Amino acid sequence: MRSDLTARARIRDAALARFGADGIAGTSVRAIAGDAGVSAALVLHHFGSKEGLRQACDEHVLAAMKSGDEADLGELLSAATPARRYLARALLDGSESASALFDEIVTRTEAWLAAGETEGWVRPAADERARAVTYVSWMLAPLLLGDHVGRLLGGDPAETATAVRGARAGLEMLTHGLFADDRWLSAFRDVDVR
């Protein structure tokens, strides 16, 4: 419940929502303070600056991405709509912070996939870094192409129902494969050899 949150958490959650809706540059500390029901001075007291608040949002999103029990997936997805909107806007802003956030997501994903290889639920890859970068790019694409994806899937890709619909289709392809033969893989291997 919102009233159970500390002032710091209310401010962070207000920033996630406001940054997700208006972008980092389009959001003022005063607007975030108003959404959180606190003064702008309290926002600065807790976070130092708008950039400090953005860093706290990045850390919160990254903490939520820790791999957990598959049984908790529904709860995690339901709570993640503001984080998905935030990610979409934050990654498109072209800042060093956006680059650092993307890099950290890729690094964590690379470790997660490597652990999956060790545990036997991820197939080995010839290029583990490229696999992680591609996987993250595929997972984030619906958010970054939100208007187009939403138009064709019938809903906002940051909302749980549309996010789950797209993720199911993607995971089906990743789990069962898309192509019935290796003609395209062979063609790209041939390009790599030249």
Distance CA(68)–CA(74), nearest Å, equals: 11
Domain of residue 57, residue span: 2-181
Residues 6 or more apart whose Cβ sits within 8 Å of residue 135: 109, 113
The predicted-structure confidence for 112-137, as pLDDT tens digits, reads as follows: 999 999 999 999 999 999 999 999 99
Query: Please, what's the b/e burial string for 107-119 (b: 16 or more CB within 10 A of its CB; e: otherwise)?
Result: ebbbeebbeeeee
Residues 6 or more apart whose Cβ sits within 8 Å of residue 82: 13, 16, 17, 20
As a whole number, mean pLDDT of residues 70-94 equals 75
In a domain, 143, yes or no: yes
- Compare 161 and 69 and report the one with higher pLDDT: 161
In a domain, 65, yes or no: yes
pLDDT over 70 (residue 194)? no
10 confidence band (pLDDT: 50, 70, 90) = very high
The predicted-structure confidence for 12-42, as pLDDT tens digits, reads as follows: 999 999 999 999 999 999 999 999 999 999 9
pLDDT over 80 (residue 179)? yes
In a domain, 191, yes or no: no
Our count of domains for the chain comes to: 1
In a domain, 171, yes or no: yes
pLDDT over 50 (residue 174)? yes
Q: Residue 87 belongs to a domain with what CATH number?
A: 1.10.357.10
What's the chain's average pLDDT? 88
